[in-house]
Amino acid sequence: MNQILAHLSANEDVSLQQLLEFLAIGSVSTDPTRAGDVQHCATWLADHLRTIGMPTVEIHQTAGHPIVYAEHLGAGPDKPTVLMYGHYDVQPVDPIDLWTNPPFEPTLRDGKVFARGATDDKGQVFIHVKAVEAMLATSGSLPVNLKMLIEGEEEIGSPNLTPFVREHRERLACDAVVVSDTAMFAPGEPSIVYGLRGLAYLQIDVQGPNRDLHSGSYGGPVANPLNALCTIIGKMKDEQGRVTIPGFYDDVLDVSDQERAELAGLQYSDERLKGDVGVTALGGESGFSSVEKLWTRPTLDVNGIYGGFTGEGAKTVLPAKGMAKVSMRLVPHQEHHDIARKVQDFVNSITPPGITATVTDLHGADPVLVPRDAPAMHAAARALMRDEARIPPAIAVCNLAVEDAGDSFTLMVVEFFRGHEGDTDA
């Protein structure tokens, strides 16, 4: 390990220059005029992986932007195989006038790199690349079999990743997946992310009379769909902030006392949260701390609501219809299709007479959880605890399990960062 750290130190300046070169490529995946830059970025990365000694490096063209794949399987069949996932594409740069330096002219200030992609995700990808380079340069080998999958479409929803993973299932097989594409709990505070909440996203349409009516002529006997919509939504939660949809909590995994104690030990400030979002009090499900609400409990939120007269002044319309978008963050072991059905049944059971309610399952994702006692998790924790020489210029190691769970390519993140803090995008 000392040799590896010495190698990293000795090559710090060169590595930094290479990182700045990588960051200077404007690989904005959503911008068609940048498609050439995205392609160039894939080529640059693949060339670099060859330079550091990865024996197999491939650029896979897709229906969209290319996927860079590399492998080093020299550790042999007795050693675990780790898949490293990352992305080399970046977010658009707007609003450009809020940047101190042009986003694709990486600039060092106070020992930090400012450029688009510096922390999402080129910086992290590059840390892995440099770690591999240092190991290969000092010992000629890696302690595990390594597969690297670095895509160019993460920022646009990875449309071609699932087909790629399906097609190359056997080739991508691994014991653990390492990802550095989440966040630290706080600057300088290493974090292992071992779960992600899922999502169920629904639209509720309500229909009352066959046309917009005048409330003076029809108000009273004719049920108002907007009132009905508000009643339906109002009945979805009780005064304790608990979701009242029957069966909603049936599959929710209880958090162990140990885990609750660990969460309680984090320096999470409700005051800071209130100040950050500009509210005088926090809400949500009673009986749980903010961290528990954020990470271990499901939610139900109205994301949009629309109907009737919304123009200036007054209009006494009794509207014909209304619509709301409602979504729920899910936790293990809730399933988004199951939750959507439960919402559907609940809405049907409470819809007032004279109103038709239609619930549409728009999209969703199931929550994921990495077992905390998995060997890869222990390895991640050991690496995180390592308290040897400083690791320049920054090192991020994460661990993530990928499963092709039927419908979707699901990433499960175990992440920890250490070393340099605050390299940032803007």
- DSSP for 386-406, written as a single string: ---S--SS-EEEEEEEEEEET
148 strand-pairing partners: 70, 84
Name the residue with tokens 């609400």: 293
- Comparing CB distances to Zn ion, the nearer of 71 and 181 is 181
**Exposure string (b/e) for 262-281, b if CB count within 10 Å is 16 or more?**
ebeeeebeeeeeeeeeeeee
- Determine which one of 89, 151, 181, 292 is catalytic: 89
- Comparing CB distances to Zn ion, the nearer of 120 and 366 is 120
Query: What are the tokens at 49?
Result: 């992986």
179 closest CA partner among 155, 149, 153, 159: 149
Piece in contact with Zn ion (CB under 5 A), picked from 175-183, 241-249, 286-294, 403-411: 175-183
Rounded to a whole number of angstroms, the minimum distance from the CB of residue 115 to Zn ion is 14
CA-to-CA separations, 408 to 63, 180, 299, 337, 411, in angstroms, rounded: 18, 20, 22, 13, 9
Considering only residues 121 through 150, tell me which ones interact with Zn ion, judged by CB under 5 A. Answer: 121
Rounded to a whole number of angstroms, the minimum distance from the CB of residue 398 to Zn ion is 12
Considering only residues 176 through 195, tell me which ones interact with Zn ion, judged by CB under 5 A. Answer: 181
Considering only residues 97 through 126, tell me which ones interact with Zn ion, judged by CB under 5 A. Answer: 120-121
Query: What are the tokens at 232?
Result: 């339906």
Rounded to a whole number of angstroms, the minimum distance from the CB of residue 182 to Zn ion is 8
Return d(Cα 45, Cα 126) in angstroms, integer: 9
Rounded to a whole number of angstroms, the minimum distance from the CB of residue 169 to Zn ion is 23
Handedness of CA 123, 128, 131, 133 (dihedral sign): negative
- Comparing CB distances to Zn ion, the nearer of 157 and 275 is 157
Query: Total binding residues for Zn ion by CB under 5 A?
Result: 3
- Comparing CB distances to Zn ion, the nearer of 158 and 344 is 158
CA-to-CA separations, 243 to 87, 206, 249, 326, 350, in angstroms, rounded: 37, 21, 8, 13, 15
146 strand-pairing partners: 72, 82
81 strand-pairing partners: 145
Rounded to a whole number of angstroms, the minimum distance from the CB of residue 82 to Zn ion is 19
- Determine which one of 154, 181, 366, 415 is catalytic: 154
Q: What character string, x for contact with Zn ion (CB under 5 A) and - otherwise, covers 2-21?
A: --------------------
Rounded to a whole number of angstroms, the minimum distance from the CB of residue 334 to Zn ion is 25
89 is catalytic: yes
- Comparing CB distances to Zn ion, the nearer of 120 and 151 is 120
94 is catalytic: no
Rounded to a whole number of angstroms, the minimum distance from the CB of residue 341 to Zn ion is 32
151 binds Zn ion, rule: CB under 5 A = no
Compute CA 206 distance to the chain's CA centroid, rounded to the nearest angstrom: 32
356 strand-pairing partners: 207
103 closest CA partner among 112, 93, 113: 93
- Comparing CB distances to Zn ion, the nearer of 151 and 181 is 181
Contact assessment for residue 194 and residue 370, using Cβ atoms and an 8 Å cutoff: yes
Those residues whose C-beta lies under 8 Å from the C-beta of residue 238, and which sit 6 or more positions away, are: 244
- Comparing CB distances to Zn ion, the nearer of 124 and 145 is 124
Interface residues with Zn ion (CB under 5 A) are 120-121, 181
- Residues annotated as catalytic are 89, 154
